Structure 1
C-alpha cells in the first residue's frame, strides 16, 4: 500500500466560485421575479408594460446561468485532474530517483550513489566526498574515460571509519592533458519521501533536494 503521509495537496473542499455564483444568481432571480410580479400586479391596464423587456431580462438570466454552469463543469474537471495528479504523484513515493545534483543523505549505513559524465577527454579525475562543513571525508581516483560513470560511496571515510549520518556532497576535480579544469555534470540517486501538489507542478522531496517532476532524470529500481 502506498503511504500518502508524504503528500501535500492543494485541493480544497467546500463551495467553488461557480457554486457561489450560482447561489448569487438564484437570489437575484428570486428578487427579479418578486419585482416582476409586483409590477404586473400594479400596472396600468390601459398602458401595460412592454413584454419584450421582460423577455430580454429572462434571456439575460438564462445566458448567465448557462455560463455559470459551464464554469462549474470546468471546476469539476479541474478537481478531477488535480485528484489524478495527486494519485499519480503518490505512486512516486518510496521510489529512488536520479536527479541533477551533488548532495545526498547518508543515514549512517547505506552511503550515497552518484553518477557523473565525462563529456571531454579527461587526463586526471578525483572524486571527493565532503560533509556539511565542506571537509573532505573521502576521496579516490575516478574514471577518466568518456561517458557516464557511477560512484557509490559506502559511507566510510578515508581512515576507514563510518561517517556520521548527514548530508554529503560530491566534488569532482578533473583536468585534461593540458591542465585545463573540467566540470563533469553530476547526478545523485535518492529516495522520494514526499510530494507537494499544491502548485501547478508537483514538487518532489528527493533526499535533501526539492525538484519538479521535469527535473527527475530517471526512476531507479532499488537493488
Structure 2
C-alpha cells in the first residue's frame, strides 16, 4: 500500500512539473472554462476578457521576439569571433605603454597623446615586478601625438634584462595643473575570447583589450 502511494505521488509531481507553461490553446481553454462556470449574477466583464486576451497576446509576441533577438545576438557574436580569429598572432596597436626588451634590444615604439601643451612630461618605466627602473623627462611638449622609439625609451640604459616593461606617463601645464595624457603601443595577439562586452584579445605582454579598441598593424 505504501509503495503504491509513493508511485502515485511521484506520478502526480512529474505531471505537474512537465506542464509549467501555458500555450495559447491552454489560455483559451481556461478562458472558456471561466465563462462556463462564472456566476450568472456577476458575469465576467467583456472588456476585462478582451484586456486579458490582449495582454496575453502581447506577452507571447514579446517572448517570441526576445528569443529571436537572443538567437541573432548569438549568431553575431559567433561571426565576430570567427572574423577576429584572423588577428591571432598579428601585431596590433592598443591602449597602454609596453616595451619589450629582447637580447638587450628594444624593438618597440610607444605613441603618446597630449590633450594640451605640457610644460613637463614624465614617463615612469616599470619592470615585470612593478619596480620603477627609470623615469624619462621632457619639457615644453606641444599638444598632439608623437612617438618614442626603443632608444629613447631606454635613454637611461636601465632596461637591461629581457622581458616586458610597462610605461606610465604624467604631464603638467605651466601652472602645475595636470594634463591628460594617454599611451598606445604595439603587441601581438596571443588569445581571443568572447566576453559580455564583445571580443577580447589577450596580448603576449598580458594586456587584455577589446577588438573595437585595437588597430591592426601592417605586417
TM band (smaller chain)? 0.5 to 0.7
Maintained 8 Å contact 2:95/2:183: yes
Partner of 1:94: 89
Residues 125/88 of structure 1: CA separation in 2 closer, same or farther (3 Å cut):
same
- Under a length normalisation based on structure 1, what TM-score does the superposition of the two structures give? 0.54
Q: Partner of 1:209 in structure 2? A: 207
Give the match for residue 47 of structure 2.
Answer: none
Q: Determine the structure 2 residue equivalent to 1:165.
A: 162
Q: Measure the CA separation in 2 of the matches of 1:184 and 1:202.
A: 26
**Who is 2:145 aligned against?**
148
Cα offset, 1:120, TM superposition: 1.2
Does the residue aligned with 1:88 lie in a helix, a strand or coil? helix
Q: Cα gap change, 1:176/1:202 in structure 2, threshold over 3 Å: closer, same or farther?
A: same
Spell out the pairing of 1:100-139 with structure 2 (5 A cutoff). Answer: 100-108=95-103, 109-132=105-128, 133-137=130-134, 139=136
Structure 1 position 103, deviation (Å): 3.8
SS in 1 for 2:146: strand
TM-score between both structures, scaled by the size of structure 2: 0.55
Residue 190 (structure 1) aligned to one of 187, 192, 206: 187
Q: Give secondary structure in 2 for the equivalent of 1:181.
A: coil
SS of the residue 1:203 aligns to:
strand
Return closer, same or farther for 1:119/1:155 CA change in 2, 3 Å cut-off.
closer
Q: List runs of 5+ in structure 1 lacking aligned partners.
A: 1-23, 25-70
Alpha-carbon separation, structure 2, partners of 1:184 and 1:110: 23
* Aligned alpha-carbon RMSD (Å): 3.8
Q: 1:39 matched to which residue of 2?
A: none
Instruction: Provide the aligned length of Structure 1 versus Structure 2.
Output: 156
Q: Which runs of 5+ in 2 are unaligned?
A: 1-17, 19-66
2:175 alignment partner, SS class? coil
**110-119 or 160-169: which moved more?**
160-169
The structure, 1 or 2, with the larger RCO (C-alpha pairs under 8 Å, 6+ apart) is 1
Aligned to 2:171: 174
Distance 1:148 1:103, change over 3 A: same
